């Protein structure tokens, strides 16, 4: 993957989107989702060990989502985090990040390691060759307070619901309560972290979250009310600038 011709200034938040080629459904299976979660952490901090057993990677990824440390036998720590991840979501054939660079060139280095590492795993597993992700990922600088809140909702609420009900943006949610249950239980997004159900090691510390996410201080009840009002008022229609 070539480096992007864009200046990723430290402390400047970005919305990142990366699609699989041919709209390939790379996150259809849980085991592939867990591998990607593991790869996120490894790319951000160092290098994953080679020849890891599938069950060990899955267990390590589950542990990371629960807030547990990963064994040094699985990931060799080489540097501080390249980026601070504020929100994330995996959506069948692509993924989203709301993140902040922590080092110079942190975003392009992180993305190269992440997409390259996962592509190597995916191609080996599925017997394919060639590029897995598009040559260019989308990066949108977030410059206003309105955008800060909008991108957080877009990544952690709107996109996971595309997994739950693919046509919901056009037709509306068939079951609002069912949608809430899905958001709470869907492990491959930051919604459970925002809700306070978990404290994963993928997401930045609360101190950093408070700088970029106005909802990070809300209680579970307050956040659920916020999400319900957001969906009922169809405020998600005001996010075209993030796409």
Q: Tell me the CATH number at 92.
A: 3.30.70
Same domain, 68 and 184: no
Residue 150 forms part of a structural domain: yes
The residue with greater pLDDT, 108 or 216, is 108
44-60 tens-digit pLDDT: 999 998 888 999 999 99
Helices (H), the chain: 30-45, 54-66, 106-126, 145-153, 159-164, 168-171, 176-185, 191-195, 206-212, 220-232
pLDDT at 103 over 70: yes
Residue 1 forms part of a structural domain: no
State which of 105, 139, 173 marks the end of a domain.
139
pTM: 0.91
Return the pLDDT at 3. 40
145-185 tens-digit pLDDT: 888 888 989 999 999 999 999 999 888 899 999 999 999 99
Same domain, 92 and 148: no
Same domain, 59 and 109: yes
Same domain, 232 and 193: yes
Average pLDDT over residues 191-198: 93
Residue 3 forms part of a structural domain: no
pLDDT at 136 over 70: yes
The residue with greater pLDDT, 102 or 5, is 102
Confidence band, pLDDT 50/70/90 cuts, at residue 205: very high
Same domain, 156 and 49: no
Return the pLDDT at 225. 87
Same domain, 128 and 228: no
Same domain, 19 and 123: yes
Return the pLDDT at 190. 97
Which structural domain range is residue 124 located in? Answer: 14-139
Residue 112 forms part of a structural domain: yes
Return the pLDDT at 146. 81
Average pLDDT over residues 128-157: 89
Same domain, 161 and 78: no
Same domain, 106 and 166: no
- Parallel, antiparallel or unpaired: strands 46-48 and 75-77: antiparallel
Same domain, 117 and 171: no
pLDDT at 67 over 90: yes
Same domain, 108 and 27: yes
Residue 4 forms part of a structural domain: no
pLDDT at 101 over 50: yes
Residue 215 forms part of a structural domain: yes
State which of 73, 105, 139 marks the end of a domain.
139
State which of 123, 139, 155 marks the end of a domain.
139
d(CA 189, CA 91): 9
d(CA 96, CA 155): 6
Tokens for 27, please give them: 């996150």
Tokens for 63, please give them: 């542990």
- Count of domains observed in the chain: 2
Return the pLDDT at 243. 60
Residue 76 forms part of a structural domain: yes
d(CA 16, CA 100): 10
Residue 60 forms part of a structural domain: yes
d(CA 209, CA 221): 19
Q: Say what percent of the chain tops pLDDT 70.
A: 92
Confidence band, pLDDT 50/70/90 cuts, at residue 27: very high
Same domain, 43 and 125: yes
Q: Helix, strand, coil: what percent of the chain each, to 5?
A: 50, 15, 35
d(CA 114, CA 21): 16
């Amino acid at each position: 993957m070539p480096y992007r011709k864009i200046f990723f200034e430290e402390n400047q938040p970005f919305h990142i989107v990366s699609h699989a080629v041919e709209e390939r459904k790379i996150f259809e299976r849980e085991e592939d989702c867990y591998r990607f979660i593991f790869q996120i952490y490894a790319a951000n901090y160092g290098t994953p060990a080679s020849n890891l057993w599938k069950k060990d990677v899955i267990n390590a990824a589950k542990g990371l989502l629960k807030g547990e440390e990963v064994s040094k036998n699985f990931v060799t720590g080489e540097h501080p985090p390249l980026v601070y991840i504020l929100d994330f979501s995996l959506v069948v054939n692509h993924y989203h990040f709301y993140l902040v660079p922590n080092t110079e060139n942190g975003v392009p280095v992180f993305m190269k390691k992440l997409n390259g590492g996962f592509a190597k795993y995916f191609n080996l597993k599925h017997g394919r060759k060639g590029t897995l992700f598009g040559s260019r990922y989308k990066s949108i600088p977030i410059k206003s307070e309105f955008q800060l809140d909008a991108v957080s909702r877009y990544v952690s609420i709107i996109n996971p619901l595309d997994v739950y009900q693919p046509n919901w943006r056009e037709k509306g949610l068939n079951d609002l309560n069912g949608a809430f249950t899905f958001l709470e239980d869907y492990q491959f997004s930051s919604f459970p972290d925002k809700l306070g159900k978990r404290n994963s090691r993928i997401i930045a510390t609360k101190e950093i979250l408070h700088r970029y996410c106005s909802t990070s201080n809300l209680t579970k009840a307050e956040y659920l009310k916020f999400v319900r009002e957001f969906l009922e008022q169809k405020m998600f229609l005001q996010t075209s600038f993030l796409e």
